[in-house]
Amino acid sequence: MDFFLVYMATVFVASIVPGPSMILSLTHGIRYGARKTVATALGNTCASMIQATISIAGLGAVLTTSQPLFFMIKYAGAAYLIYLGLDIWRSRPMVFDPIHHRDPSEDASFGRRFAQGFYVAAANPKALVFFSALFPHFIDTAGSPLSQYLLLVLPLGFVAFGCMMIYALGGAKITGLFNLTGLKHYFNKLVGGSFIALGIGIAASDR
């Protein structure tokens, strides 16, 4: 139980730190509300659990030793973040109604929100490296492989989903500020520019 609590704390800290996934969840919380951002969180969670499964299977270690494969995934992920940033940048300025504080015309299908959450999480190959470094400390080679897999991956999914929803709820709560300030005119530029910068930063990093 002590190891499990340490594992959960480690995963929570790694998940709650602001990054592309959390920025996306905050953005969707502002644009669509927390309820609709559940789709985004589910997409992100599925990608994280797949990455965790790959790492437990040992393929994450292959990624860390194969520079061509690592950089191929890294550049593909960076390109997607830049594409997403440009798409948000070019969107029309947000308009909030006085009751719900959100633009009633702003909408996206469940599938599109799910896909954006999934691809933003999958765009980061460093998650595979992180999981490959983390899991060996919590795996007992004498224990049941299935039970240990479930104890590692399922809680990770719950934590990832919960952290995404924390940001989504925060985004939904601050929407009223956009009618009181001029931030709504710069929202798309700020968020789009953040994703573009993140994509460029990932592409430019050595690892």
Name the maximum alpha-carbon separation found in the chain: 60
Instruction: Write down the pLDDT at residue 48.
Output: 92
pLDDT over 90 at 25, yes or no: yes
67-100: pLDDT as tens digits: 776 777 778 878 888 888 888 777 766 655 544 4
Instruction: Write down the pLDDT at residue 100.
Output: 47
Q: What angle do CA 91, 97, 98 make, to 5 degrees?
A: 145
Across the range 55-64, mean pLDDT stands at 68
The three-state secondary structure class of 93 is coil
CA 70 to chain centre: 19
Across the range 36-58, mean pLDDT stands at 91
Nearest to 199 by CA among 107, 88, 112, 110: 88
Question: What is the DSSP code (8-state) at residue 94?
Answer: P
Count of residues in the chain: 207
191: left (phi over 0), alpha (psi -120 to 50) or beta: alpha
Task: Confirm if 91 and 188 have CB atoms less than 8 A apart.
Answer: yes
What is the distance between the alpha carbons of residues 70 and 38, in angstroms, rounded to a whole number? 30
Which pair of tokens denotes residue 193? 């520019």
Which pair of tokens denotes residue 164? 């995404």
118-135: pLDDT as tens digits: 999 988 777 877 887 787
130 phi and psi angles, rounded to 5 deg: -60, -50
How many other β-carbons are positioned within 10 Å of the β-carbon of residue 53? Answer: 15
Instruction: Write down the pLDDT at residue 132.
Output: 78
Q: What angle do CA 149, 164, 188 make, to 5 degrees?
A: 140
Band the pLDDT of 166: cuts 50, 70, 90. very high
pTM here? 0.76
Task: Check residues 58 and 11 and name the one with the higher pLDDT.
Answer: 11
Q: What angle do CA 153, 112, 203 make, to 5 degrees?
A: 70
Across the range 162-187, mean pLDDT stands at 78
